[in-house]
Structure 1
Amino acid sequence: MSGESGVSSCQRPSCEGSYEDMGGGELYCDTCGLAPVVAPGGLLASTPTGMAVAGKGSDSARSGSRASARGSSRSSRSSTSRRSVSGRLSRALSGQSTARSVSVRSSGSAGGQSGRGRLGAGLVAVPEVPRPDPRAAVMANPEVPERKRFCSRSDCGAPVGRSRGDRAGRTEGFCTKCGHPYSFVPKLRGGDVVHGQYEVAGCLAHGGLGWIYLAVDKAVSDRWVVLKGLLDTGDQDAMAAAISERRFLAEIEHSNIVRIYNFVEHLDQRTGSMDGYIVMEYVGGKSLKEIANDRRTPDGRRDPLPVEQACAYGIEALEALGHLHSRNLLYCDFKVDNAIQTEDQLKLIDMGAVRRMDDDESAIYGTVGYQAPEVAELGPSVASDLYTVARTLAVLTFDFQGYTNVFVDSLPEPDGIEVLRTYESFYRLLVRATDPDPGRRFASAQEMAEQLTGVLREVVALQSGRPRPALSTLFGAETRVTDTELFEEHTDDVSVLGARAPRRGRKALPTAVAGRGGSFLRPLDVPATALALPVPRVDPGDPNAGFLAGLLAAAPAELITALHAAPVPSLELRLRELRARLEMGDVAAAGQALAALEERHPDDWRVVWYRGVASLVTGDQAGAALSFDAIYDAFPGEPAPKLALGICAEFLGQLDNAAEYYRLVWATDPSYVSAAFGLARVQLAAGDRAAAVRTLESVPESSIHYTAARVAAVRARLRRRPANEPLGADLTAAAAQVSALQGFGLDAVRRERLSTEVLGTALDWVLSGSPGAGPAGTVLLGSALDERGLRFGLERSYRVLARLAQQGEERIELVERANRFRPRTWV
């Protein structure tokens, strides 16, 4: 504790104990058992907050205030600017451009989700947890440790039943502070029958409302059930009211939520009071806390869960929360204690904190370190539920020291945490889900689950080397791939074919691609590249969605005319007109349209996306990067913003950043072929020829750009090679590729041109006398790998090209080249 906050002694004025780590970064006083209370900003407060246990082995903090502005999406803590991720590109841009406030607010709605099947979303195999024999879970000697004994009155919470000197603490008695009775002795014992139906087998655990019991339902096939105390009070009327109030839990049916069977009353023979119990499904297995604590390094320290396993748990939890939200319910207290894996399924097990969204009166339960900071003032919400999931993911995936105090409402910097440093998309997801402003978190459990699934796809793809594509609900496919050639075509005849110069007269982009030996690459068409990015899907709820669906093939000028005849004005209509203006090159009109959209919809993510596209078209690469970075913050599971950031980084000359973003996209989804060509382009510019060839040759046969990628790979093997670099293996591979491409749509003209490049490079190599010019008898595209054979091969290819030429002048030039390369013969 002292290393994290500088405080080791207990905060309670009447307690002389000190804090100790109980595992997983959870700190509790060794005398009174209370956790440290943390004030905003990570500083320890001077007075403790009362604690109430809300589940199996859990300590939950009851909020002391009610929501005074339940309809508001912002808390008083949200007046500061949005917390944003400092991505690799954003850090590089620091100080290079005028900072602008870039924010994104999504418009999704809370709702349930359809079942996803087994745990892992079909992407990762999560180790199964066997279902144990229920009787094995019964405690042989049910006792509550003294450090966990507190008065059950919500306005007291004083420690009770503590030892004094050599005398052990009492398990029953009265609170010395308020006089309220307490008892830590189980009210039910093995063999007791509750409600004439449930035969008690024993105690499973102790929670905030007393002991939790295992029982057999004698009325329903002797199934195992759990009995949990519903209200700790002797007031029978209050107990009956509590039962009535909680009966809505029995209506919840979901595969990821523990089933509530019944609410019953039972007479306590010792006290004569009627006790209320909730009868729940028995879920055998391990809690996420147990699963996490079971993982240990050789030196005994906790080994965090693999990020992909934690993501799988998060997706299942979000599905369950989405179901609750669709029924106007909030879970309020999701954490590692309250979810159990049994076999290949995750279940939420503690429904004690569930409340209706419009409930302004019931006590609010949450746990320090998991609960969103605005709950104490505004009350719980969908956004605060999603906050708890993100905090749970953080606790599971790294050694989150100080998450209950120093980092009680923040995340540590990613540079010092391997999983956050390695998986930027995962870090960005955590940041958005825990944004100080609840209005800027994910709009629904479904939206967060979709993005978490996208992050999981990326993680699994990077780890396995196998793409994990999926159809995006936000973006359409690439409109086109603008740069499939990569290289300038050879047009100038030179004395040595393999050393031809690139075409003159085109102005290349002022990037590192053109400045680090890469001037032989084709300069990118900036506007065309920007407009080739994926297009946001039309919102089906827009009044013009159907109208716009019929205009997909219209030319930009015709489209604008048609848009003016739309039935009603709408956001989608204005976005389509903005894009049409950009496609026409009418930058001034596009700027005006964008300004109007930003004034009306400043936080709509599609407007921010088109701000980036427009900035890229006009040459403001730094401004475009800021916009696309904001989209990446908002939707970390989407490939489109990463592709856009890769393009910005390449234009800005940041080859390492561009390569990383392109690699993320290409490794995850091979349908984004622009990422493959972009990655190969920056690899070539950086001098990594072998990596560029591997990237180009990884374009699958199913892609319509397969042939273009293989042609570019052939040229990557041959162009601008150092004089002393061995060439034999690349020549052989290039020739084999040219031969193989005949069956993949490579037309005769392109094949013969590519053949002249291969043969010409080989002739340069042979004439240069380079060592290892190839063993005798080697054949390249049907020609012997010697001067005479290569000249005959070049002559043959040029004569084929002459026959295929469309113009007379070109035909004459090609025949002259064939004659020049023909070896001297007697005929």
Structure 2
Amino acid sequence: MPLCNHPDCGRGEIDEQGFCDACDRQPLARDDADAAVPVPEPAQGAGVGVAHVRPDPWYGLGLVDSDPGPDAPDLPPPSADPVPEEHRFCAAPYCGEPVGRGRDGEPGRTKGFCASCGTSFDFGRPQGLTIAGRYAVERVLGSGAYGTAYLAHDRNLATHVVLKSLNRSVARTALHERDVLVGLRHDSIVRMLGFEDEGPHLVLEYVPGTPLTAGDDDRLETLLAHGVRILQALDYLHARGLLHCDVKPLNIMRFREQSPAGAVDRVRLIDFGAVRRERDEGPIVAYTRAYAPPEGDPEHRRPTPGFDLHCLGMTLREVCRARWTDRSAPGVDSLHLLLERATDTERPWRRFVSARQFAEQLSGVIRQIVAAPPTHLQVARPSALFGSMPESLHGGLGAARPLAHWVEAQLGEDAALIMHAPFASPEPGDAATALPAPLSDPDAPDMADWTRRALAESRSALHRRAPDHAERALAAAGLEEWHWLHAWYSGLIALAREDAGSAAAAFTTVRRAVPGELIPQLALGLCAELQRDLATARSHYGAVFDTTPALGAAGFGLARVHLLSGERTKAVDTAERLAQEFRYEREAQAAAVRLSVMTLDGPAHPIPTHDDLERAEARLRSLDVDQAAEAALRAEIRYAHFLHHRDRERLSDAIRELGPHAPTEREYVALVDLANRLRPPLRWRWAGPRRRSGHWRFGGTPSTLSS
């Protein structure tokens, strides 16, 4: 690996994130290194991690098996109601006058002739009408503020299409919608097929489906995958400077599409009657109030892509309402936090600013959901926001009990040993340096260089265990206090000060901002464990470990919490699952041996069973460790045997075997002394006084001999 070239460093190695593992700085450029500056400042751009290319934010789609989709009739049933009067206009292209209107409180005719030109109309039974000489109208699909939608048969193409009849008052809008749709080509956007001056009418692709709703058999991840598809469509629109402005369930058509692999469930965004360009001046006038940001929101004064993203957040709330009542279910709490951010009206600055940002977190939520039964799909992938975390933070579980524990052990009642705790929660300072630094935020690429340098200095100070310096550097970064980056560094600083409560509050802010990420949940698990809130720690550790065992710190944390809760079997099972990860294989195997036999004080922690002891012996025989570690693990197993059988001799032998691995003579003598004191006491058989040859003789033989 390349070496650090900072003069004051000592030649540490550069890790996979581009930082020195000794001084935690990026290497100097060649010119700066040659100048040998005594105390260089952190390199520019180092503040929040290495240069990073954002992963595919749509990856959640690959985690969901495509269902065939809901059954939908080839043709929808005819509308029971006639076309509303306000949408009745003469179909003649040279006329377009209002027809069929009521007078004096009486409803207008649904069938008749235009008073201006004599053209016939029928708004009660549109069947039989032909538009532009090629579109045979079959039924009314619906009516809205911009006109009426008809299902028609295109005689030229021999297929069904949708004719969107637009009255003259929105002719300009119709032309705008035509101009927008004609250039769009996306699988999740309805296709524009043509435009007819008669009416005028837009000719659109007919999607034989139903508005997006949750069916009885729909899984939560299936519905959320449709959300990702709509985000793809919005990203496509926003990249072209367009805003849909009316995203809602009725404007998302769900349908079954045939593919070479069979029928698949798909969605398309329809009804572009409210579409506008982002650069257009003036407030939004066409939207659906139930899904749009409230009036007075900044999005109404100067609309941005955030308007559509809020609408989609409200849409997902509506669609998933029956699937997210149990917040303890995998991923459901994260979904709540995601949609709370997407639709936050009190703090609009917290909402998502791009479809990709929204999709990244939504894909992360899907990842958490599919990791649970019955799918059990676990995916290890790099985060878009955080670097890797190779440290296991096993707290002593992943290695044999330290020799010092045996050297310092004291003999208690009935020869039980008084020893140090067999493991411990990670030290807060160790956790602060092990948790990864954020990478460059892909949604804030224009972060100032001085901000990056200040964050780099804060990170470096944390590694030097200087939290006060880290806090001053964070203040110099100039980040808003509500920003998740500020909250993340605040949490690390609080951990470095051993203030787990304040750290948990800061990490909660991060989790609310990026609920699809796993690292904030891991940090919250560590804080809860340090506060001895075992239930909360188990919830966070479990969510992370079930989603990806590759984050070994979550697996070791979950094993610790299970054992502290008196659930030895679950603790061992967790270690064995973690042992399937190559990076943590040996540590996790050692943990499985130790968890099977270690004892904790208190009635909630019974001694290991005979089955536990047998499994530990079997695991030890297959474990590839050095002789010192094997001897220490065997001594721990022998001590568990002793608690069952009180076989002091075998325990004494096991401790004596630790002696050759003692680094000093003093420790060797202490181990031998402990082994001798554990030997069974000498018991003499009393033979009584006997007189022989005029002399008294007292005799006997020892029943046991000490070695």
- Is the TM-score greater than 0.5? yes
Partner of 1:462: 372
Q: Deviations over 1:385-409 (max 9, x none)?
A: 1111111111112259xxxxxxxxx
- The verdict on how the C-alpha distance between 1:500 and 1:817 changes in structure 2, with shifts beyond 3 A counting, is closer
Taking structure 2 as the reference length, what is the TM-score of the superposition?
0.74
The change in CA–CA distance for 1:240 and 1:660 in structure 2 (over 3 A counts) is: closer
Who is 1:663 aligned against?
Answer: 542
* Contact persistence 1:544–1:572 (CA under 8 A): no
State the alpha-carbon separation in 2 of the partners of residues 692 and 757 from structure 1. 17
The aligned residue for residue 394 of structure 1 is 317
The match for 1:763 is: 642
1:498-537 CA-partner distances (Å, limit 9, x unpaired): 943233xxxxxxxxxxxxxxx5532532211121112201
The residue aligned with 1:125 is: 65
CA distance in 2, matches of 1:663, 1:433: 26
Distance of 2:565 and 2:201 partners within structure 1: 69
- Tell me whether 1:502 sits opposite 2:419 in the alignment: yes
Q: How many angstroms does 1:306 deviate by?
A: 4.0
Say if 2:188 is the partner of 1:256. yes
- Separation (CA, whole Å) in 1 of partners of 2:479 and 2:508: 22
How far apart are the structure 2 equivalents of 1:804 and 1:814? 10
CA contact (8 A) 1:315 1:452 kept: yes
1:276 aligned residue: 200
Paired with 1:224 and 1:310, the residues of 2 have a C-alpha distance of: 28
Aligned CA distance change for structure 1 residues 145 and 371 (closer, same or farther; 3 Å): farther
8 Å CA contact 2:178–2:192 kept in 1: the answer is no
Q: Are 1:593 and 2:473 matched, yes or no? A: yes
Contact 1:479 1:533 in 2 (8 A): no
Cα distance, 1:793–1:804 mapped onto 2, change above 3 Å = same
- 8 Å CA contact retained: 1:137, 1:204: no
Counterpart of 1:477 (choices 385, 388, 406) is 388
Amino acid aligned to 1:192: T
Equivalence for 1:335: 248
How far apart, in 2, do the equivalents of 1:473 and 1:498 lie? Answer: 55
**CA-CA distance at 1:749 after TM superposition:** 1.2
Identity among equivalent pairs (%): 32
Greater mean deviation of Cα atoms: 731-740 or 240-249: 240-249
1:435 aligned residue: 344
Partners in 2 of 1:634 and 1:349 — Cα distance? Answer: 30
The alpha-carbon distance between structure 1 residues 319 and 133, as it changes in their structure 2 partners (threshold 3 A), is same
Q: CA deviation at 1:453?
A: 0.9
Alpha-carbon distance in 1 for matches of 2:444, 2:457: 15
Q: Aligned residue pairs: how many? A: 595
Partner SS, residue 151 of structure 2: strand
Structure 2 residue corresponding to 1:351, chosen from 266, 272, 294: 272
Q: Which residue is equivalent to 1:634?
A: 513
Q: Is the 2:251–2:270 Cα contact (8 Å) retained in structure 1?
A: yes
**What residue ranges of structure 1 are gaps of 5+ in the alignment?**
1-105, 107-111, 154-158, 175-181, 267-274, 296-302, 401-413, 504-518, 546-567, 768-786
User: Is 1:528 paired with 2:449?
Assistant: no
Counterpart in the other structure of 2:143: 207
Shift of 1:804: 4.6
Give 1:450's aligned amino acid.
Answer: E
Q: 1:169 to 1:726 in 2, by over 3 A?
A: farther
Cα–Cα, structure 1 residues 695 and 541, in superposed 2: closer, same or farther, change >3 Å? closer
Change (3 A) 1:133 1:431: closer
- Give the match for residue 738 of structure 1: 620
Q: Residue in 2 aligned with 1:571?
A: 451
Classify the secondary structure of the residue corresponding to 1:704: helix
Question: How far off is 1:735 after superposition?
Answer: 1.1
Residue 317 (structure 2) pairs with residue 381 (structure 1): no
How do residues 798-817 of structure 1 correspond to structure 2 at under 5 angstroms? 801-811=658-668
Secondary structure, counterpart of 2:643 in structure 1: helix
1:321 counterpart (197, 216, 234) = 234
Aligned partner of 1:741: which letter?
Answer: L
Against the structure 1 CA distance between its residues 312 and 523, is the aligned structure 2 distance closer, same or farther, given a 3 Å change threshold?
closer
Query: Separation in 1 of the partners of 2:251 and 2:148?
Result: 16
| Residues 310 and 342, structure 2, Cα contact 8 Å, conserved in 1 | yes
Does the 8 Å CA contact 1:693/1:716 hold for their aligned counterparts? Answer: yes
Equivalent position SS for 1:462: coil
> Which residue pairs with 2:211 in the alignment?
287
1: CA distance, partners of 2:72 / 2:348: 40
Higher deviation after alignment, 617-626 or 686-695 = 686-695
Could you say what secondary structure the match of 1:705 adopts?
helix
> Would you say the 8 A contact 2:283–2:303 is kept in 1?
no
C-alpha deviation, 1:481, in angstroms:
2.5
Contact 2:101 2:107 in 1 (8 A): no
Distance across 1 between alignment mates of 2:231 and 2:128: 37
The CA deviation at 1:318 is 1.1
RMSD over aligned CA atoms reads 4.0
- Specify whether residues 764 and 421 from structure 1 end up closer, same or farther in structure 2 by C-alpha distance, changes over 3 A only: closer
CA deviation after TM superposition for structure 1 residue 791, in Å:
4.4
Q: How does 1:395-410 map to 2 (within 5 A)?
A: 395-398=318-321
**Relative to 1, partners in 2 of residues 1:386 and 1:240: Cα closer, same or farther, differing over 3 Å?**
closer
The match for 1:537 is 439
Summarize deviations over 1:589-615 as a string: whole Å, max 9, x none: 222212222x45444422221111011
Q: Distance in 1 between matches of 2:321 and 2:445?
A: 46
Measure the CA separation in 1 of the matches of 2:595 and 2:416.
14
Cα distance in 1 for partners of 2:334, 2:586 equals 32
Residue in 1 aligned with 2:24?
none
Alpha carbons of 1:683 and 1:541: their partners in 2 closer, same or farther (altered >3 Å)?
closer
Point out where structure 2 has 5 or more consecutive residues left out of the alignment. Answer: 1-47, 49-53, 90-99, 114-119, 257-264, 681-703
Q: Deviations over 1:286-342 (max 9, x none)?
A: 2214xx3x54xxxxxxx9x54323212211111111111111111111111111222
CA shift, 1:585, in A, is: 2.0
Aligned to 2:167: 232
Structure 1 residues 820, 452: closer, same or farther in 2, change over 3 A?
same
Amino acid at match of 1:582: L
Change (3 A) 1:698 1:204: farther
User: Aligned partners of 1:725, 1:241: CA distance in 2, in Å?
Assistant: 77
Is the contact between residue 194 and residue 203 of structure 2 (CA under 8 Å) also seen in structure 1? Answer: yes
Counterpart position of 1:192: 130
Larger Rg: 2
- Superposed displacement of residue 454, structure 1: 0.7
Take 1:624 and 1:475, find their aligned partners in 2: how far apart are those partners? Answer: 18
Counterpart residue identity of residue 485, structure 1: G
Decide whether the 8 Å contact of 2:140 with 2:148 is kept in 1: yes
Deviation at 1:675, TM superposition (A): 1.4
> 2: CA distance between counterparts of 1:602 and 1:151?
52
For 1:639 and 1:606, the matched residues in 2 are separated by 15
In structure 1, the residue matched to 2:19 is none
**Which residue type is aligned with residue 531 of structure 1?**
T
Deviations 1:48-102 (A, max 9, x none): xxxxxxxxxxxxxxxxxxxxxxxxxxxxxxxxxxxxxxxxxxxxxxxxxxxxxxx
